[in-house]
Amino acid sequence: MKNKLYILGIFINIALKAQVGINTTSPQKMLDVNGDLNIRKELRVEGTDLIKGNSGSMGQLYKVKTVLPNQILTDSWKTVQIAKGTGSLSLFYLNTVKDTEGVEFDKNNLAAQYVLNESFTAPNPNNDSTKKNWAWIKNAKDVFTVTKSDNKSKAILSLQTVVQITANTTSSASFACGIFVSKDGGLEQLKAVRNDVVRGPSGAYKVYNLNVTLDELSPGIYTVRAACANRNLNLTSVPSTKLGIGKAMDQISLSNDMAQTTLTTSVLQTY
């Protein structure tokens, strides 16, 4: 009797570990369904004997992938960006960089027009007031890639910083900030620019914003950088006016973290 029970147990164990087929006599996996499968509640994946699997969330897709080098199949839930229609745009890249060093000016500079697509001009020798004096905001720099060749890709660029002056009396300082873009290692070209002015007692400051959308981008690797320039500073006071962009000039009212510069890049492409 014991021998019969032992043999029966072996057959039950084999049956429990065998492949099961529904509407098929030759199942290929532990469970092989030849036909429609209707699940009324949850389908959980990535579980173990001790851990309940993940049932995913609304809008996710079920994904099976091969893990190298052993060619092991794994399944999971995945969030996929699906465009609303043919030719519509989806977000392919979003990133924000910041800089807490900023730039500082203590002299006047050329208060002239800035022309879109003109090349970046490095800080001129001796701060010559007859030449443009762009200065990079060191860490306000980002790189993105456009892969689509339909000329429908867009990049939305947003720059925000804080500008502060110090002086002996009530003073003012004008300035400009711009966003420069280069493609595939080429020249940096001005794509957005706006001038402004800070007025008030020593320590006066203001928040500066600059936004631009670049359309019809062709495939390539793009580098985005922010730069600022001094224009007219009130130099009649003693000591003369100093201008800080993305940098706290008066540590009583601001810190460098409060005055930091941020540059946000969003890239949209057809799905």
- pLDDT, tens digit (0-9, with 9 covering 90-100), for 154-199: 999 999 999 999 998 899 999 999 999 999 999 999 999 999 999 9
Boundary (domain end) residue, out of 45, 61, 80 = 80
Q: Is residue 105 part of a domain?
A: yes
Asked whether residue 21 falls in the same domain as residue 69, the answer is yes
pLDDT (tens digit per residue) in 42-87: 888 888 888 888 888 877 887 777 776 776 777 787 877 665 665 6
Collapsing DSSP to helix, strand or coil, 165 comes out as strand
pLDDT (tens digit per residue) in 214-257: 999 999 999 999 999 999 998 876 678 999 999 999 989 999 99
Closest CA to 267 of 184, 158, 145: 145
pLDDT at position 28 over 60: yes
Indicate yes or no: pTM above 0.85: no
Report d(CA 38, CA 244) in Å as an integer: 65
Q: What is the mean pLDDT of the chain?
A: 86
Asked whether residue 221 falls in the same domain as residue 98, the answer is yes
Average pLDDT rounded to a whole number, residues 254-265: 97
Report d(CA 55, CA 50) in Å as an integer: 16
What pLDDT score was predicted for residue 71? 67
Boundary (domain end) residue, out of 80, 105, 127 = 80
**Cα dihedral sign, 145-148-151-156:** negative
Asked whether residue 133 falls in the same domain as residue 176, the answer is yes
Asked whether residue 120 falls in the same domain as residue 188, the answer is yes
CA-to-CA dists, residue 233 to 78, 79, 239, angstroms: 55, 52, 12
Q: Which domain holds residue 145?
A: 89-270
Cis previous bond, 125, omega within 30 = no
Report d(CA 174, CA 109) in Å as an integer: 10
pLDDT at position 106 over 60: yes
Asked whether residue 115 falls in the same domain as residue 51, the answer is no
Average pLDDT rounded to a whole number, residues 144-148: 97
**CATH label of the domain that carries residue 161:** 2.60.120.1340
pLDDT at position 205 over 90: yes
Report d(CA 92, CA 251) in Å as an integer: 39
Q: Tell me the β-bridge partners of 31.
A: 20
**SS3 readout for 18-87:** CCEEECCCCCCCCEEECCCCCCCCCCCECCCCCCCCECCCCCCEEEEEEECCCCEEEEEEECCCCCCCCC
Structural domain total, the chain: 2
Report d(CA 244, CA 262) in Å as an integer: 15
Report d(CA 49, CA 270) in Å as an integer: 43
Q: Cα-flanking dihedrals φ and ψ of residue 249, to 5°?
A: -95, -25
